[in-house]
Structures are given as C-alpha cells and as structure tokens.
Amino acid sequence: GTMAHMKSVLLLGVLASASAFQTSFMPGMKAPVVARRAATMTGPVMAEPVPCGINGFGRIGRLVARIMVKDPETKLIHVNAGSATPDYMAYQFKYDSIHGRFNGEVVVDGDDLVLDGQRVITTRQRDPADIGWDKTGVDYLCESTGVFLTEEKAQAHVDGGCKKVIFSAPAKDDSLTVVMGVNPEDYKGQTDFVSCASCTTNGLAPLVKCVNDKWGIEEGLMTTIHAMTATQAVVDSSSRKDWRGGRAASGNIIPSSTGAAKAVAKVIPDVKGKLTGMAFRVPTIDVSVVDLTCKLKKEATYEEICDEVKRRAAGDMKGFLGYCDEPLVSTDFESEPISSTFDAEAGIMLNPSFVKLVAWYDNEWGYSGRVVDLMKHMAAVDAKVKA
C-alpha cells in the first residue's frame, strides 16, 4: 500500500518536473537531464559528447569522474592515476565517506574500469609523455594532480596528444582563469590552458558578481570557514612552510591564508585591489561557508540584497548562485551542485552601506561540477571557433 502510494507520488513529481521541458517521456529516459543541463550551460549544447580524460584520481579527480559518467554530454575515456591499480581505483570511485556509494555499476576488466556500462581506460604514468592521450582520443583533460599547474608544465599533456588542459586548481602562473557563471565569455578558444580557480573562489565570486553588478563593492574582507582537506594533518605533524597547517586538523580551528578573495579580481576585474581574505580550517570533512563583509558604493537594504540574489539565482546565474531562507547547517549542503548558496537568514547589515553576507559551498562536489561545466563550455566554444 504505502510503497505503491510512494511510487505514484514520485512518478507524479517526475512527470510534473518534466512538463517544463515539453517532452513526453518515461522515467529513466535521458532527455530531461540534457534539457536541464542545457539550461545552465552557456553556448550551444554539444551534439556529440565531449571526449574527456582525467589526470590525478584524488578527491576532485574521482568526483569529476562520477559527474562525467552520469552526464550524457561528456564521455570519460581515460584516467591516469599516480600508482593506483585498477581494482583500487574502482574501490575509490565506488565508495565515498561524504558523497556515499556510487549509484551505478562498477566493474574492473583488466586495466579498464566499466562504470555504468561505459569503458574507461586507466594508466599509471608519472610522465605526461608516457600517458598516451593521443592513443585514447582524449581532447579535454582535467588536470587534478596539483603538479602541472603552469602552461609550461602542462604543455607536456598537449604534446602528449590532448587538445586542452583544464586545471582543477588555481594556476601557478597567469594562465586564463574562468569561474563558470561569472566570466565564461573570457574563453574564446585563445589558449590551451585554463584554470577553474579554487573551490573558495567559486564559492565567493558568484555572490560578489551579483552584489557588485547592482550596488558596487567599495571594499570587502572575506573569511571562509573551510572544511578539512588532504593537505592537512590528522594529528599533530610537521609542515615547515605553514606551522599551523601541520597541526591536527581533526581537533583544531586553524587560521590559514587563502588567495581566493584576491583571485576574484582575475574573473571580476572591477574588484581588483578591493577584496582580500583568510580562512579558518575547521574539523568537518566537507562543505565550507564564506563570509563576505563589504562596504557598498550605493546604499541598499538587506531585503533588497536578498531579493536581488533571489532574482539572479532564478535567472541568468541559475546553477551557479543559489538562494536559501531555511535555517540549514553545513551537512545540508553535502553534494550540492550549486557553486555558492546565499544564506538569507545568516547575514546581517550594520547600516545601508556595510553588510555581512554568508554563502555555503560544497568545496568538493560543487567545484567538481564546475570543472566539468568548464570543459563542456570550452568544447562548445572551440566547436564554434572551428565552424
């Protein structure tokens, strides 16, 4: 009884959401997914899936793989991992302490992984020249080892046969930086190397864009209360470059530096020299929250700011900027695909030109989604340039 009722309710929900796409379909069909994705994409929808590869199978590499396998617009062809064997890669892909078990089939076949029926070649090479992107047909590469973050270093991947390299981290040189939802138009096909910035820049920039477009930001300070990441230590360890960073992540609030706020100027030149910030690393596994305290050029009420964020979250910034007026906490944003979700209840205004704004971001999942979005966007632009 109850199960049947549940199913009919679910089916109604599915059909109701589908009507927006003007397609008649049965649950399980891919069409609505494509339509929904197309709505958040800038530029044309690709007819052929984008041939993708991943270098480095850490937190971001694995989640990018999960997203690609479920996205009909991308085709994951080849993953190069440092030393992980195929069976270990399958295990790392399938189980995740935060995002749960992979919803689909994971099979190991020799050196290949078969993920949801899609065959993915795996290799274990340290030198890009030996990976063989040219042999496997990878055009767009997610570079997530943290090692090849300059044009000079990443050139080895292009020499190895891929067309474009997308850094899943801030570039260590002045490579083009694109934050989806903020400055996608800056990529015109002019370079083979593009950085997706950092998770925190993606968590901050959409909110900055929204506020700056309407009122102008005179100056601002950002603090991110940031989840633990793999660069930290479980118990007190040593870190000669960053003494505090070598302390136990699991039991401390650790002040840390971050270039994320300054980096916003790379994607919103208007705020150059007006933003900076810092981080507190706290003992949570994933999901971070950014606190932007800023002086506005034009006066506003807090309600007006909420209304404007809400408007753009439902409009041109949909999928990148979110709006939330429920009293949520960090775990509620685990696996949230939106880059930056404004928390209306958490912010506070001191006076009409001085305000503290709060936005949540899943620093793993949201960011990984943007890496994939950027790869698809570049492919769409490149196809237009070619045509």
Could you please report the per-residue DSSP string of 57-70? -SHHHHHHHHHHHH
What backbone phi and psi angles, to 5 degrees, belong to 136? -95, -10
Residue of 74, 34, 71 whose CA lies nearest to 53: 74
- Tokens, residue 271: 């705020």
Residues linked to residue 52 through DSSP beta bridges, in sequence order:
76, 140
The single residue listed with the structure tokens 């109701």 is 16
Which residue is catalytic, options 162, 196, 199, 210?
199
Cα torsion at 142, 143, 145, 151 (round to 10°)? Answer: -170
Residue of 256, 252, 264 whose CA lies nearest to 294: 264
Residues linked to residue 323 through DSSP beta bridges, in sequence order:
342
The CA distance from 80 to 18, in Å, is 38
Judge whether 199 counts as a catalytic residue: yes
Question: Which contiguous run of DSSP H or E holds residue 52?
Answer: strand 50-55
Which residues carry out catalysis?
199
